[in-house]
A and B are shown apart, each in its own frame.
Chain A
Amino acid sequence: MWNPPALAQELLSVLLPADARETVCGDVLEEYRESRVPALGERRADVWYWRQVVGIWLRTYWGFVVPVILLLVVGDIFNTFRAPSGASYLDRLPMLAHLPLSPFVAVGFFVMAGAYGSWRTREFAGGLVAALGTFVVMWLFMVIWGTVTFYPFAHVQQSNPYWIQAWQWSTHRAHPPSTFGFNPDTPDEGFLNWIFWDNIGALLFGGVAMLIASSICGGLGSALGLIAARQRPATPHNA
């Protein structure tokens, strides 16, 4: 008998509320074995199974992903497009207007996703999958967003004093020996080349930072959600 990928089966099980876990996993497994593998072959049936898992994740947690993505986009736009002096347009706004764009807000969404995930599934792992999934979708979006906006944004950035100063600071100053084992002193590096690698670096370092934040904050949220779930009465299904 054919089996879907073990990781996908495990994720599907962790994603579903306790009262739907057995029946929905059974439905998807039955469809996979009886219809999809005979019709599509094992490899494409595996892809179908993964699509069901990702679809259920997105359907459940899109409400956490969309606000974080919007904050990322707004933050990036304000960071790129600056006043002719190089100052951020955000600086003119009251302090309260800065708060939604703070990294603490994104971290707060990891906590909330974790809490909701474990509350809904009554499983610690359910919350962790919610928070880590939020990170994965956010990071993939950042990669796509960074790629699509690279040239138009760089075109604007190369005529703004803030970004010119950042480029000159990065490429023309005398760097001390680097703790990363290389000296990035590259006085001949052009603006576009510099900002391309600057973006790649931001994606990689930002990705690692968000992975750590989503694991820790997602874990914290999951623990809180689990405590709340234990106070919740059982649904008619699992009573």
Chain B
Amino acid sequence: MTAPGVPNLIDPQVPGVRFGSLVRVESRKLTDSRGALGVLIALGVLLLIITITGMSNGTIAFDSALSALSATAANFLAIIAIMLVTAEWSQRSVVSTFTLEPRRERVVVAKALAALALGAVAFVVCLLLAWLISAVNGETMDHAGEALVSAALYIGFLVLMGFAFALLLLNTPGAIVAFFILPTLLVPLLVGLVSDQDSDAQTWVTPSMALDQFTPGTTSSGSPWLPLLVCALVWIVLPGALGAYRVQVSEVK
């Protein structure tokens, strides 16, 4: 289409797809299909049940309420983050996604931001519910600051880890199974077998153990941030980088 005398078919000067639009589109995909909406509704119901149970118990304080709520939310949000990536590949709507924005890396980042934004919304909801529980129970707000950090880390870590697994495997059941088996069971088990009984080696590769170091009242030797950083490298950065490369070069069929 570059024959002389032919008007140019493509205008290279028009503005490209706005990144903000991509984030809005990906956020909308979190709720506009039955699968994603179902998981979200299930999460809502579960958070309500926890809240009602917590209020009727009478002794649950803010920090333990928040940790129960946020741990539940984090696991569900991880599944939603996984589906945000993998559903497009199994449903093959990725064909239109990548013809609308062929710079795939922008789509991947937009998806990650959409998943994190949902995580932030869920965090605020958990916060309000935890405050409600503690207020109804007449409990104090002890350890509120630590509890906030712990909850935010829990949600953020699990969402990103699910997202990274999804990029790597591009398959919903595979990513969900890997997400729940590898970092919590298989790898810690293997590390436990080859390391000293007294060593804390498992903490460094097991996200749940590293995250538990942030639970209010936990005393840990040394900074809790280092094991979490190592876990993030192993379970988020490594699979995420490999997965992003895979998405970049994959043939979209």
A binds B: no
Residues on B lying within 8 angstroms of A by beta carbon are: none
